[in-house]
Amino acid sequence: MTNTKSSSVPFPAADDDFRAARLRCAMACQMYNQMPENATVEHRSRLWRNIVTTGSITPPCEDELEDIAAGRNTNSPFSKGAPYVKPPVYIDYGTMLQVGASTFINRNLTISDTPILPIKIGERCLIGPNTSIYAVGHPLDYRERGGPLGAPSLASSVTIEDDCWVGGSVVIMPGVRIGRGCVIGAGSVVTKDVPPEHLAYGNPARVIRRLVEDITESEHVQHQQISPVRLSPGSDASVTAMVDPTATGTTTPPPSTCSSCACSSVLTPLPASSPVSFGWSLPSFIRRFPLTQYCLLQALLLFISLILLVYRFA
């Protein structure tokens, strides 16, 4: 995990324009949260687009809200390409919020966002219930905060890349970037960046391990493994062996070059009748006997040795 060093941008959240933007988003969230469970995809999409619209920072009038809910507002570029977000949701501004259309977000999503820097949630993400994403901070020095009305707010960006799974009741702090394919355990507080394809959990969250093995390494190791070979009765100790392309009397298929991984080796398919090489060999007079006869010979030699020992000490 790396420390989050993203810069914060101060902005006067108490100004009238920002307060009007929050009111507009609050009213849009209220309509979304009142949506029935059996709402159509088009209806759900329209209400979500109303939350994240960038057309106006002022709250729409009551008639305009009804037109938006009914799909009669032709000025808003609504489409079906919206994420599936289960109500209720609580968002401050929504104008810089970007969520992938194939993402699923469970209930009680809270996003403390800003109209200054974006919050991005990628495609095919799963966001658990009661997740909170914070992109707003305040000065640590109480003298700089100056009370609720005059206090400057500090805007930061938050990014959740594609294919992430964020467990329930996770808190994501300002400036955090979660890499692609990550899994964040339930109840975690993410204060630092998480590299792609890693599992992280805890309070504060820490990286536990990598989730996806590097494809190049995986294929390289797989190509280094010896393929199993069929045993042919009567062959010379035909147990699994390495290929000897120069062996006489064998038919070796043409070699194939590995092109799907980083290794530069040439892969030679293993014929069924390939000889065996373990790095050592049996004596030549032994190799002429089948394995069963060799074992019987060893047993006979051991029996004779025992008889000689008994005769000697008798």
> Could you report the per-residue pLDDT of 137-153, keeping only the tens digit for each?
988 888 888 766 667 88
pLDDT score, position 108: 97
Average of pLDDT values for 175-181? 97
The mean per-residue pLDDT over the stretch 41-45 comes to: 89
Rounded mean pLDDT, 183-192:
97
Output 44 or 133, whichever has higher pLDDT: 133
The class of domain 9-210 in CATH terms is mainly beta
Distance CA 291, CA 288 (A): 9
The torsion defined by the Cα of 228, 233, 234 and 235, in degrees rounded to 10, comes to: -10
Determine if the pTM surpasses 0.85.
no
Cβ contact 5:198 at 8 Å: no
| Angle, alpha carbons 132-7-166 (nearest 5°) | 25
Q: Beta strands 205-210 and 198-202: pairing type?
A: antiparallel
- 3-state helix, strand, coil split of the chain in percent (to 5) is 25, 20, 55
Quote the percentage of the chain above a pLDDT of 70.
62
Catalytic option among 138, 198, 220, 223: 138
Could you tell me which residues come within 8 angstroms of residue 42 by beta carbon, excluding any fewer than 6 positions away? 71, 80
Rounded alpha-carbon distances, angstroms, from residue 182 to 120, 132, 283, 312: 15, 17, 58, 75
Does residue 138 have an active-site annotation? yes
The region of weakest confidence among 55-59, 146-150, 183-187 is 55-59
Residues 6+ apart with CB under 8 A from 301: none
Pairing, β 126-127 against β 104-105: parallel
Q: What is the pLDDT of residue 256?
A: 46
| Least confident segment among 131-145, 233-247, 253-267 | 233-247
Decide if 67 contacts 73 (C-beta within 8 A).
yes
The domain segmentation of the chain, as residue ranges, is 9-210, 221-313
Q: Considering the chain, what percentage of its residues have pLDDT values greater than 90?
A: 44
